[in-house]
Amino acid sequence: MLHNIFEVGRIRDQRSLPAQALVPRSTLDIPKGTTFWIDEDVFQEALASRTVQGRKDADMIALINMNGVETMFSVFELQQRLSRTTNIEWEKWATDKNLARLELVAGMYMRRYPYEDTEDKHQG
C-alpha cells in the first residue's frame, strides 16, 4: 500500500503549468503616468539619520501606483532598503532629494518583486 502511495506521487498533474526560470530583476521600467509618494517626515529622518525611529515596522509610509495598481510600503521595507544604501547613494541623495524619493520607493518595489515577470500586472 505504501508503495502505491509513492507511485501516485510520481504521476504528473496534467493541469500543472511547466516550471519557468526566475530571472532576477536588475532594472525597473517605470511606465508613463506612474505616481509615487513617501511620507515627508519619514523621508527627512531617513536622509538625516540613515534610519527611522519611533514608528511601528508595519506603518505604511510610501506607495507607488503603476498602471492603476497601488502598492504600499512599510517602515520595515524602508529600513531594509536603507540598510543596503551605499555611501555613493547617500552622497547623491544629499544633493537631489527628488532622486532620493524615487530611488527609495523603486528600491522597495524591486525588493518586494525581485524577479522579472512577463505577466507582471504592474508593467503594462
Q: How far apart are CA 16 and CA 62, in angstroms?
A: 37
Q: How many domains does the chain have?
A: 1
Per-residue pLDDT of the chain (124 residues; tens, 9 = 90+): 666 666 766 777 778 777 788 999 999 999 999 999 999 999 999 999 999 999 999 999 999 999 999 999 999 999 999 999 999 999 999 999 999 999 999 999 999 999 987 555 555 5
Decide if 25 is inside a domain: no
Asked if residue 16 is part of any domain, the answer here is no
pTM score, whole prediction: 0.80
User: Would 2 be classed as within a structural domain?
Assistant: no
Residue 123 lies in a domain: no
The residue range of the domain holding 84 is: 33-115
C-alpha pair distances (Å), 95 with each of 49, 62, 68, 91: 16, 21, 31, 7
